Structure 1
């Protein structure tokens, strides 16, 4: 198992913050599974766990945002990925505003 883990840690992947809003409250999560499926119409595939709060927000509102993390984005990974949204308000202390929706 340890050898497999070492191999998997070498697989290149991007890291993203996926966010959604429900009833005026934002939530997000760190995600490494975002793929463009088609460009017309634009469709994305997200790998999401149905138990995550962000998944519930996306299902309720039908919209989400994908934010690309910079290579030095470890502080963002810690902020948005280490604790579940059901336990902490990840956006506390941050200035944010909802963006346009295309749905």
Structure 2
């Protein structure tokens, strides 16, 4: 098997917080594997680790909310990336509201969208969720410095990555 690290070590892509709710359970995690994957129709793919509680909730969810964070939102990044929902309710004391279809929207996120899950794709240790956007909001009005992979390198994951 070829190691992809010589290529991926050069990347510095945005990080996202993905939230999900199903059957009264809510979850959220910091995600690095995600991208728009179609213009017409508009589609976005989010990859969730099978080890993550958010994956277990998302596999029963109809919709996922995908949030961008600003580079200075280290507290949120550490909460959703460094804590596990198996031990911590990440939404306690966190301002959030309901979005389309009952989705969970983080009030402090500068931009977000909610997507209906159209398909799930087995990618190995991660599962891809193909999302059809239903609503989107950009609260910044213009470009802002976003949290990226390099900003998040110091966050120890709540679950092992593999």
Q: What TM-score results when the alignment is normalised by the length of structure 1?
A: 0.81
Q: Across the two proteins, how many residue pairs are aligned to each other?
A: 98
Give the whole-Å Cα distance in 1 for the aligned partners of 2:76 and 2:94.
Answer: 12
Q: Is the aligned partner of 1:47 residue 2:67?
A: no
Runs (5+) with no aligned partner, structure 2: 102-114, 117-162
Give the whole-Å Cα distance in 2 for the aligned partners of 1:100 and 1:43.
Answer: 17
Which residue is equivalent to 1:30? 30
Give the whole-Å Cα distance in 1 for the aligned partners of 2:87 and 2:81.
Answer: 12
Runs (5+) with no aligned partner, structure 1: none
Mapping 1:16-95, distance limit 5 Å = 16-95=16-95
Deviations 1:60-96 (A, max 9, x none): 0121010001011211111111111111101111232
Q: What TM-score results when the alignment is normalised by the length of structure 2?
A: 0.54
Q: Residue 48 of structure 1: SS of its match in structure 2?
A: strand
Q: Provide the aligned C-alpha RMSD in A.
A: 2.1
